């Protein structure tokens, strides 16, 4: 499993630091999510289940590209819940084909309640082996948040710590971006 933590940058455009977890650490990470408690007080949880807690927008740059162009993919996560959210898992498809790099990647990027944050994802090519340029000249990329966790911030003697407190309900949430291939 790979964890990606964008460096702290107020505009969200910084490069990502990547940490590779061993299987044992990945299992501990998953177990802490399972036993970490509830999503919060019942009134906050009720609020979060009545409306979507996360809203997503996908961005591809540049908006028009040649067939051999490297595209920058990012998502904007809008947290409409009552708690910070993090530990995102994404599923990304290009022209209906799932991109395997996202299968075992978790993005550790806390988004505060009421905050919007841009998260840089992996770049992709406008066309590549096994995925030729689309016949209609439009490359559609769909991004889905398939998993996320409510988190609690804790100050400890060792420093800042984020604790997983429960899964975000109502996922997946999807968004699509399109680039014109010329």
Say yes or no to pLDDT of 168 above 80.
yes
Q: Which of 56, 54, 58, 23 is nearest to 39 (CA)?
A: 54
Longest dimension (CA), the chain: 58
Q: How far is CA 39 from CA 49, 120, 160, in A?
A: 11, 26, 20
Instruction: Specify whether the CB–CB gap between 20 and 125 falls below 8 A.
Output: no
Element (H, E) at 133: none
* Count of other CB atoms within 10 angstroms of residue 123: 12
pLDDT of residue 37: 38
- Flag the least confident range among 9-13, 99-103, 151-155, 178-182: 9-13
pLDDT of residue 81: 94
User: What fold is seen in the domain 2-181?
Assistant: Immunoglobulin-like (2.60.40)
Instruction: Specify whether the CB–CB gap between 169 and 48 falls below 8 A.
Output: yes
- The residue to which tokens 């291939």 are assigned: 181
Write out pLDDT tens, residues 103-112.
Answer: 999 999 999 9
Say yes or no to pLDDT of 54 above 60.
yes
- pLDDT, mean over the chain: 79
**Could you state, in order of their start, the residue ranges of all structural domains in the chain?**
2-181
């Amino acid at each position: 499993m790979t964890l990606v933590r964008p460096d702290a940058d107020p505009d969200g455009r910084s490069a990502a630091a990547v940490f590779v977890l061993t299987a044992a650490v990945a299992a501990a990470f998953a177990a802490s999510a399972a036993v970490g408690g509830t999503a919060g007080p019942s009134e906050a949880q009720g609020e979060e289940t009545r409306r979507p807690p996360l809203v997503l927008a996908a961005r591809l740059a540049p908006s028009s590209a040649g067939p051999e162009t490297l595209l920058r993919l990012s998502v904007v996560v809008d947290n409409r819940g009552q708690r910070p959210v993090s530990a995102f898992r994404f599923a990304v498809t290009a022209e209906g084909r799932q991109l395997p790099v996202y299968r075992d990647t978790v993005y550790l990027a806390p988004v505060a309640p009421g905050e919007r944050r841009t998260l840089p994802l992996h770049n992709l090519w406008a066309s590549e082996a096994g995925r030729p340029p689309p016949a209609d000249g439009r490359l559609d990329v769909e991004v889905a948040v398939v998993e996320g966790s409510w988190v609690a911030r804790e100050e400890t003697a060792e420093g800042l710590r984020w604790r997983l407190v429960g899964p975000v309900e109502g996922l997946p949430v999807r968004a699509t971006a399109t680039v014109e291939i010329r």
